[in-house]
Structure 1
């Protein structure tokens, strides 16, 4: 039986509000293959990853039509009846750190008795180690989804990994690529993410937050442009700034595993999801993201053969200082287990400060997740 035809995806208009936008560098990946192009891109990248952890890329060889097809597939999935989506949800899986599949809104308490408004559907990378049943609307288009997932990796992630290798002065610019091979077992995944609009009174009770300030746990996160303004970053001056949805770009943020591998040189970006501005506050927000992580067997120690890290004395990280030698697989499991806790004691002050129960933020003994108020 042929796959059902899917209507095109139409993005909503951008906000007309005068927001305090972050000033972020844009890397033009069309320079990548040009003589001296990678070195020039590294110069642009260095300040961003050492001080902010956010930047844009453009000219990345994935068409807007391909991107909009993924938004359309996400839209179709979230339009399914809840009982159909719940067939792909397991509380027991989430409790033990298995995050692929569906997570309904309301799984966690955001604070003050208000539950979260976020639905998530994660599709693991197609490395042969993550066989999962998919809903028919996605299963019927699974080859297209796989092609998109692989392009995220080869056209964006691998190019960035080579730029990071040059920044770190590694003897082989493919060293980090070998630690992030698509067809080797790993926790990379594609995500469709849906934030439901809420009323003003509920938004007030949670200090205008959809998701409080946090860092991601992997190497880099790719956020494909969507026009509902909500993402904010904490800049190096300690101010929250809105991230502008720029045409023809992907927003990239660097994450915890990359920080660990670089001894803290590359900043794990701090970001949060705020209630959209008034002219978009009534609009649901759909996101398409790709999360890249080191392969599961990689031990998250600072890279030993980086002349730059050795010159700067960046030979330790938060794991090694605790005597821990976590592989990516172990790190993802303990961090995801912490992230999926219900946080029933969470409180939010009128100033937007989040507080939690005594064990809510513990990842491993001696290491707690940080929530940035």
Structure 2
């Protein structure tokens, strides 16, 4: 696996020297649209348990897995191989996945746009373990946003109300072994739709970002790291001060083609009714407002889901 192009920022700084953490993280985001966080405080044994349950689900027979497909346009449950297609791509991505969303209480106004979760009965511990992972990454994401807010000089808690009960999704991804005659790639070049994405390190390499100079840079951090990137919603809110960088998952070299790849991106979203309106502090004479017409987070999401064939 090739080395990672981005120097990790230790999460131990969050409590020891928050301003230094915010500046290091923010500078990486502004330069690459990506940052790598080392020494996170998520329990590795619990992460391993959730990923083991994901692997157990993907090993089930196809007809069993498909019982859990088709929930609200793929926003929950199983999304089979051969569905998701990167915007503008000619061929679908070589992957299958499972979506977990936020549990909302009865009568919550966002239930109109956010479906209830479903859980595979064949894996008894799946709900407990994967539900924990959703909550752990959601909490970590809110802390990352506090650093981003500080970097943007917005006030540390600026994003807290914007993502409360947000339409965030945990995706459990399985990229099967690649046959010699495969058409397409594991994940075509794309930008993420959401606010920020948090990705636990994958066992297999392949993640690359498109740098501003036109080079594809590998992102293969050491174990115990979280890769975090800016999504299109935050790029829009910050008027591209923080860029949403195009990235992809390339197919492995011949000697690794028979090895599956698993990864777990957490797509942290704004609340469905949050109005994405350009931050005044991110508008200057050199960087005029690119988005004079605001849009709600849900309207933006639905527009983009149609483009990638998930709605």
Is the counterpart of residue 299 in structure 1 residue 275 in structure 2?
A: yes
Do residues 177 (structure 1) and 160 (structure 2) align? yes
TM-score by length of 2: 0.88
Q: Which of the two has higher C-alpha Rg?
A: 1
In the alignment, what sits opposite 1:165? Answer: 149
Q: 1:132 aligns with which of 99, 117, 127?
A: 117
SS at match of 2:275: coil
Query: In the alignment, what sits opposite 2:169?
Result: 189
| Matching residue of 2:108 | none
Q: CA 1:101–1:242 in 2, change beyond 3 Å: closer, same or farther?
A: same
Please give the secondary structure, in 1, of the residue aligned with 2:242.
coil
Counterpart mapping for 1:1-373 below 5 A? 15=1, 19=2, 21-34=3-16, 37-90=17-70, 93-94=72-73, 98-107=74-83, 115-128=92-105, 129=111, 130-137=115-122, 140-154=125-139, 156-170=140-154, 172-181=155-164, 184=165, 186-202=166-182, 205-206=183-184, 209-304=185-280, 306=281, 309-310=282-283, 314=287, 316-318=289-291, 320=292, 323=293, 325-340=294-309
Give the deviation of 1:249 after TM superposition. Answer: 0.5
| Aligned partner of residue 179 in structure 1, secondary structure | helix
How far apart in 1 are the matches of 2:290 and 2:129?
A: 39
Name the CA distance, whole Å, in 2 between partners of 1:228 and 1:136.
Answer: 28
Contact 1:165 1:173 in 2 (8 A): yes
Q: Check the 8 A contact 1:231/1:243 in 2, yes or no.
A: yes
Asked if the contact 1:101–1:123 (Cα under 8 Å) also holds between the matched residues in 2, the reply is yes
Where 1:287 maps in the other structure, the secondary structure is: strand
Per-residue CA shift, 1:166-214, capped at 9, x if unaligned?
11111x3101122112xx2x32011111111222232xx54xx222211
User: Within 1, Cα distance between the matches of 2:91 and 2:305?
Assistant: 21
Aligned-partner SS, 2:188: strand
Deviations 1:111-160 (A, max 9, x none): 99865421011011223343233211456442333222111122x21111
Give 3-state SS (helix, strand or coil) of 2:186's partner: strand
Contact 1:227 1:245 in 2 (8 A): no
Structure 2: how far apart are the matches of 1:296 and 1:310? 24
Aligned partner of 1:348 in structure 2 is none
Provide the C-alpha distance between the structure 2 equivalents of 1:40 and 1:303, rounded to a whole number of angstroms.
Answer: 23
Alignment root-mean-square deviation, CA: 2.4
In structure 2, the residue matched to 1:346 is none
1:158 aligned counterpart, secondary structure: helix
Residues 221-267 of structure 1: per-residue CA shift (max 9 Å, x gap) = 11111221111111122101221141110111111011011111001
Confirm or deny: 8 A CA contact 1:301 1:317 kept in the other structure. Answer: no
Equivalent residue of 1:87, what SS? Answer: helix
The change in CA–CA distance for 1:109 and 1:263 in structure 2 (over 3 A counts) is: closer
Compared with structure 1, are the counterparts of its residues 188 and 115 closer, same or farther at alpha carbon in structure 2 (3 Å cutoff)? closer
* Counterparts of 2:85 and 2:195, CA distance in 1: 27
- 2:41 alignment partner, SS class: coil
Cα 1:139–1:299 change in 2 (3 A) is farther
- Secondary structure at the aligned position of 1:200 is classed as coil
Over 3 Å counting, the alpha-carbon distance change for 1:268 and 1:87 in structure 2 is same
Question: How many angstroms apart in 2 are the aligned matches of 1:42 and 1:312?
Answer: 26
Distance 2:21 2:14 in 1: 7
Aligned partners of 2:308, 2:162: CA distance in 1, in Å?
25
Displaced runs of 4 or more, over 4 A: 108-115, 310-315
